[in-house]
Amino acid sequence: MDDTYAFQRHIYDLTRKYYLLGRDRLIRELDVPSGGSVLEIGCGTARNLVLAGRHYPQARLYGLDISEEMLKTARSKLAGTPLAGRIALARADATAFNGASLFGRERFDRIFCSYTLSMIPDWHGTIRRAAQALSPTGSLHIVDFGQQDHLPRAFRFLLQRWLARFHVTPREDLFTVCADIASEQGLHLQMRQLYRDYARMVVLKASG
């Protein structure tokens, strides 16, 4: 991942702005409680955490990423800003992170994955690990590529060829896997298609 992002990290936010749809909507819908904790899995350049920090000024913010190169950009972006003291970053594997050792807390009120599952080989494991790290009243929020079934076939073909260049694979069975994990862990499940299935959004909520 570091080889992939050594250069891309410098232009990542600009180039992804127009096709990672639904990210801002996800952040607006987090509904973080006052003083609550928010963890982003695959935080990249910290673009989403910065936006979440502005939306929820009382929240405690955390981000992890497997790529040290992306974290370099994130730390540089935060340096000298008011959010520098509110956002903690760490390098970690999304499928096996330990919140206590990374950030001094085991569970989080809100966890989100924004266009990361389509790049993580063991994305099932990422969802399971995130669900296990929820507080008793927490929720896990996911947005990622759909299958574009309701969009023109040529658009779908070109988009998926473009995504493959960056090792991105839309997860066709995202809804099915999330439903299975929700059942396994006793979570409430919400699923939506966005923009004619350009993207898919999932929320898994703890029952407490």
CATH of the domain at 83: 3.40.50.150
Residue 208's pLDDT is: 67
Per-residue pLDDT of the chain (208 residues; tens, 9 = 90+): 444 444 444 344 444 544 588 999 999 999 999 999 999 999 999 999 999 999 999 999 999 999 999 999 999 989 988 899 899 999 999 999 999 999 999 999 999 999 999 999 999 999 999 999 999 999 999 999 999 988 888 888 888 888 888 889 999 999 999 999 999 999 999 999 998 999 999 999 998 6
Phi and psi at residue 149, in whole multiples of 5°? -65, -25
Residue 119's alpha-carbon distances to 36, 40, 83, 152, in angstroms, are: 28, 15, 27, 24
Residue 125's pLDDT is: 98
Whole-number Å distance between alpha carbons of 28 and 66: 25
Residues in Cβ contact with 145 at an 8 Å cutoff, skipping those fewer than 6 apart? 115, 118, 163, 168, 170, 171, 198, 199, 200
Residue 118's pLDDT is: 96
Residue 6's pLDDT is: 43
Residue 189: other Cβ atoms inside 10 A: 15
Q: How many structural domains comprise the chain?
A: 1
Mode of pairing for the β-strands spanning 87-91 and 37-41: unpaired
Residue 27: which domain range? 2-205
Closest CA to 144 of 95, 198, 190, 94: 198
